[in-house]
A and B are shown apart, each in its own frame.
Chain A
Amino acid sequence: MKRILLSLMALAAITSVAQRNSQEDVQSGTPALMEVKGRKLKVFLQRMEDGKLTFQMLKKPSDMTVPADKISSIQFVSKYDEAGLNSAYGAADYDAVLSILEPIMADIGQYMPISNNMREPFVMMFEAYRGKKDFANVKKHADLMIATGDEKLIDQTKVALALAAIDREDFAEAEKLGGELENEAAKLYVRAEVERAQGKPKEAIQTVNAIIFDHGNDLEWLPRGELLNAYLYLDMTSTNSTITTNSAMLTARQVKNIYAGGNIAGEARIFWESLGGAPIEAEEIARRAELRAKAKELKDKRAAEDQANREKRAAERRAQAVAKREAEAKAAESDAAE
């Protein structure tokens, strides 16, 4: 943590230097702290092409190009409302997420294949496209996600591409992408999405249940699967009069509550609210609060009664003891008198 702070301070210094310099001698590019073989270099990134990174060293405005895989990491100095971003992301307010990240990523997005401190926001942006069903942008950014080499991100990307395929009813492509996934739960998730799109909610929900049953602690795909189940319950209401929207609403509520803070919980909240969950939950909370208050009141009352009883018994015992002592004293006195 301390190291990161120091690095950021150094970066801030670079930026201010760069700004000062810009008035005198402008050096273009994206300022960053680049780590290569344990060395940290202050650089201005120029571009990323064909797996090669072109940059300029600070105060040396000549381009240098190196294979990107030789770079250990990059530290960007990006000023953005991090709290606002997290809040918007957690609420699945993807428009807000994109309004924060798109301007930043327009410049630095290209460097994502190299390990860097903005990868998480980049993934957030990608998720926002997926959440908005903006599959054109999903496809546009997919290569960058895959180029990270991070298995988790690659799976996430392929799932998003599979969703795009499902959206255009290319189920064969979706299934092909699903088959390429490393994560078993992710595979099941894609299959369930395909089944849902094919109008087979019963099969789909059973596929999701395989995630829940066999991958109950997969915090990446379980929330998505459970949210999908919420949608599937709603789908079922159109063909099965026995099933009510309660199942959809309560499933969404669980996703919202269990995975609070994540974007899937945010999506669940939006769905849950659309089903009229908020007033119901408010009522339930009020009911429980009332019950608890009553229980507490009862408990306090009983405790007070117990205390009073104890005190009463103690007073009685004391009185008895005093009386006994007095009686003994009197007896002793009378013995002594005799």
Chain B
Amino acid sequence: MMLIKKSGRSSVFRRFSVIAAVLVGLATASLAQDDGPTPGQVLKEAMMSLEAKNWDDAIDSMYMYVGMVEASKAPRVVAIAQDTRYKLATLLIQQDRLDEAGAVLQDYIDLPLANHPRQALKMLTTCYFETEAYEECASAVTNALYYNENPVIVVKQVVRGDDDEEEEVDYSNQEIEPEEEYSLTELTTLNMTLAESYFNLGRWEDCVAPFSFVIENTPNEQRKGYAIMQVINALIKEPAFDRITEWIPQLYRTSARFDIRVNLALMNAAAALVDAEEYDSALPLYRMILPRDQLIAYQEQKIRDTREAFGLPPEEGAAMTADELLLFGGDESDAASDETGGVADEEKPKELLELEQLLEALNNLPPYELDIKYRMADLYKTVERYWEALRFFDAVYEADPIEELGERCVYDMVEMLLESLGELEEAETRALGHIGKYKEGVTPRQLAYMLTGYYQANNSMETIKTLRPYIDEFVRTNDVIITKYDVELYFMQAVADLVLQNYEESEKSFKFVLDEFPDSHQEANATYWYAMTQLFLQKYVEAQPYFERYITKFPSEQYIDECAFQVGICMFGQEQYSAASNQFSFVIETYPKSSVYPEACSMRGDILGAEGLLDEAIVDYERAYAAHIRPNQATYATFQMAEIYEAEDKFEDIIRVVDRYRFDLKGDADIAKALFWIGKSKIQQKLYDEAVDTYVDAIIEYGGDLRQDGVDNMIAELVKISSIYLDGEQQDELSERLDSALEEAEKETLQLRLRVLIAKLSNTEHILGRQLLTELETLDNASPPVLATICDASFEEKDYSRSEELLRIFINKFEDSDYMRAAYKLRGFGQYQDEDYDGALATINDAQALYGTEPDVAWAQLLKARVLLDNGDIDAARDENMSVLTVPTWRGEPVAQATYQLGKVEEAAGNLEKAFAFYQRAYFQYKGHARGYWAVEGYLASAEILKKLGRENDVRNTYRALLFDRYVNDLPQAEVAREYLGASEVNEIVDYMETGGTTNITISVETELTPTSATRPAADKVETSSTEENA
């Protein structure tokens, strides 16, 4: 194909008109002076300069020549000019004068008679690429590739003549040596240039095809790998993530993976893919990134190989050995090479320099392996491959546990193990391992915080407490974040104590937070809970100011209404009922929407009820019921109303409020308790059968649920009904129903309740209690009556081994149960037996705080007196025993025991006469109580006193009196008297009594009893000094 190119003034002159003008001008001036050099001479000059390697002179001469002959139409001249242009362009490229070279080459291509158009086009692409003219470069490569396939030869030129007329010159008859097509290597280079140009122009899709050509055709592994990497980068930019995966295995198979540039590109590409959530594509890239050491080793080896290939010793600065010289040769005459094989940079081959630069870059690169591993771990975590993530996190952490990355790892690991894998043990190993070693900074605190949160969520408060030693060892700073963590950690420790009901500990812990971290973000909460803890400890006086402080200091915080209410509770606890009532009224008026409103109503109702203002109390309970937020608020109000109605014999009202409660609360109602009240009303209405039916049905239906404490009340009530209101036949029928229910019962809780009920009805509780003691491995399913039965049996057996456990179960699970008193008793005596007097006194105090002077809690007061006596506190022991005598509900057996114990007190005080008097009172007055137990003990103790006083005859008479006493002479203790008196005297007494004889033996010891005893004139003043026996 022929082509006509129109070329007026060449572009060389457009760009370099100044140079050319100067040169031509000089030439013209020279000619004017001495005809100057001819174009031939100028060309010759250029060639000589070339040979002499005077590149600049050669370039100047060539420019001059081309300028001088530009207007020539002679084919030969045109051909020489073209050849000169080609040489000039080559020279300019060598001299890195790429802009100029580009212009010259463009002229060369545009003008006729160019022998190397393909090469010129190729060189042009280099010029444009190196000058970052990527648009022009892409166009030049495309032209070159097109030309290669479709060569056109410029045969005509339009030139402007001297007359300024355009003239067409035809060179088609000139022979042009055909030029070879591009080799595959050249095509690969051109495609690489094109691809890179497109890449630099952001033409991502366009660059894939030329890169693919390179990948398919280049024998150079490095170049291939680089091209693949660029394709991946382009596809990321495109984005076309789905096409990325196919390139990765290819990249892996090239040695380019050892190229740091490829590795850096891999990192960037992987990060971009992660950002785009293309995890499946990112993961293989991360895997492919090689460790720096491996890259350095590879690069060093490559440098050695390259050095050898260029005849240099393998190591820089090393002298070549004889063997190496033999193998690789060596140019000893090379001036640049010194004796040690060192070579000046400017003399090193380009390949070697490039490699050395790469190695230097590698050596300067900070280590990245851990970062990559961390990123992989993070990626695995993101795609929920937690175990894989763990492996990588572990590795990073082990390598660098205290730097930022390591700390992030341990945090991520613990979080993942807790939240995503449910591997608590593994999480604890890592977290505690870290915080055990590292005490500074945020991370140990974060770990402790995370564990605490997990334990809290899983209700494992005991475990939270195990963190305390670690937390105490953390190095405290003024850093705001660290301090905040510390506050949180200590606050949560206190909360754990509180939940565990270790109130003394939680009191200390909350105080610690308040004292150590004043004005902390948790101050309000810590204040509230500190006060609440004191409330739990019944420290009403101490708690009140803290609630008040909260109200003053944190008026807009969440517990403001609670605090106002608790102030009322504190007043109530201090028996300031009027103030408390006013405070509750304040809460009722101020916080009508608050959750404490119903509680305040109920509390005020309680106070009004206690004052006998039952109607007003009912109004408050109704308010509480109507406003209840939690079921227990409605439950409390309802059953308080039931209590009042019961006191007023308003059984219809009981049924009304209880039915309303059942209807309103449905599933949230304490049905068992409701039924208990309904049954109770029916009893009062003398509907015993219905009451029994109600109770039995309710026990069977709800007795399987441990939390239904109403069932336990029914058990007690049913026992009462049975013994008082049912005849034998009805009792048998009830027993049969219960036996049958027991057979059908599946749940252990119900079984145990029924067994206890049956045992109570048949008075075999102790037998059952002993049986359960050995039968039950755990008490998890035992309800309060069952536990109480076990307590009672244990007490009978003097087996205190489970006393602590039993009381703990009550406190934790059945705090409001009335059956708990049995556990207090067992525990108190257990501690007394273990001589844990402080513990025993604490238990006694708790029991008395709960049950006051109720008849069956007299043991507490009596035991207290014993504890004090054993502890050597005689006065206190005396007082405590004396106080028993003043309590009306304790008349009878407790007073008998107290009287006897007073004897012990006086005996211990050395007041034998007084002791004798109390012992004597015990057998005179209380032989009818406790089956005469304290009376016979009184006899025996009296005898002992008399022995000490040396009154042997009175001793004898005392024992005789014991055996004559029909109330006590058959008790086991009477054996002591029998042994003392001997068989014949005993027989004599027996014979005498069989004849119907009685005795009136009186032993008198002069004494003065305490003022308290003066109130009891009958026997308190014993004033006898002799023994009389009236037979």
Contacts and interface: CB of A to CB of B under 8 A. Distances in A.
Interface of A: 202, 205-206, 209-210, 212-213, 216-217, 219, 229, 233, 240-244, 246-247, 250-251, 253-254, 257-258, 260, 288, 292
A277 to B, nearest CB: 12
A288 B387 contact: no
Given A229-B385, A229-B387, A257-B245, A213 B395 contact: yes
Interface in B389-416: 390-392, 395
B421 A254 contact: no
Interface string B242-263: 0001100100100000000000
B507 to A, nearest CB: 36
B114 to A, nearest CB: 36
B280 A253 contact: yes
Contact of A206 (B249, B280, B383, B391): B391
A258 B385 CA distance: 15
B245 A242 contact: no
B211 interface: no
A209 B239 contact: no
B421 A258 contact: no
Nearest to A204: B387
A260 B213 CA distance: 23
B879 interface: no
Interface string B327-347: 000000000000000000000
A195 B277 CA distance: 33
Contact of A205 (B246, B283, B287, B387): B387
Given A213-B395, A217-B287, A250 B421 contact: no
B252 A217 contact: yes
What's the dominant secondary structure at chain A's contact region?
helix
B349 interface: no
Interface in B265-284: 277, 279-281, 283-284
Interface in B367-396: 383-388, 390-392, 395
A250 B383 contact: yes
B422 A242 contact: yes
A241 B422 contact: yes
Nearest to B389: A209
Nearest to B239: A292
B252 A209 contact: no
B386 A247 contact: yes
B277 A254 contact: no
B1012 interface: no
B93 interface: no
A205 B391 CA distance: 10
B383 A209 contact: no
A206 B284 CA distance: 20
Given A258-B284, A288-B277, A242 B420 contact: yes
A242 B385 contact: no
Interface string B482-508: 000000000000000000000000000
Given A216-B287, A250-B383, A254-B280, A243 B421 contact: yes
30 contacts: A202-B387, A205-B387, A209-B387, A212-B391, A213-B392, A213-B395, A216-B287, A217-B252, A217-B287, A217-B288, A219-B252, A229-B387, A233-B385, A233-B387, A240-B421, A240-B422, A242-B421, A243-B386, A243-B421, A246-B384, A247-B384, A247-B386, A250-B383, A250-B384, A250-B385, A251-B383, A254-B280, A257-B280, A258-B245, A258-B283
A254 B383 CA distance: 9
Given A233-B385, A233-B387, A258-B280, 4 more contacts: A209-B387, A219-B252, A254-B385, A258-B245
B107 to A, nearest CB: 34
A216 B248 CA distance: 14
A83 B508 CA distance: 78
Given A217-B288, A260-B246, A247 B385 contact: yes
A68 B280 CA distance: 45
Contacts of B288: 217
A250 B391 CA distance: 18
Nearest to B424: A242
A130 to B, nearest CB: 22
A229 B421 contact: no
A57 B369 CA distance: 60
B273 to A, nearest CB: 12
Q: Which 8 A-B pairs have the closest CB atoms?
A: A242-B422, A257-B280, A209-B391, A216-B287, A247-B384, A205-B387, A250-B383, A246-B384
Contacts of A209: 387-388, 390-391
A202 B391 CA distance: 12
Contacts of B419: 242
A260 B421 contact: no
Contacts of A241: 422
Nearest to B246: A260
Contacts of A251: 383, 385
* Most chain A CB neighbours (cut-off 10 Å) among B277, B391, B395: B391
A182 B1027 CA distance: 111
Nearest to A230: B385
Contacts of B239: 292
A294 to B, nearest CB: 14
A175 to B, nearest CB: 22
A29 to B, nearest CB: 39
Contacts of B384: 244, 246-247, 250
B283 A229 contact: no
A260 B245 contact: yes
Given A241-B422, A242-B422, A258-B283, A229 B388 contact: yes
A41 to B, nearest CB: 33
Contacts of A219: 249, 252
Contacts of B392: 213
A240 B425 CA distance: 14
A244 B383 CA distance: 12
A260 B239 CA distance: 20
A292 B239 CA distance: 9
Nearest to A219: B249
Contacts of A206: 387, 391
A292 B241 CA distance: 12
B376 to A, nearest CB: 9
A254 B279 contact: yes
* Most chain B CB neighbours (cut-off 10 Å) among A205, A212, A241, A246: A212
Contacts of B391: 206, 209-210, 212-213
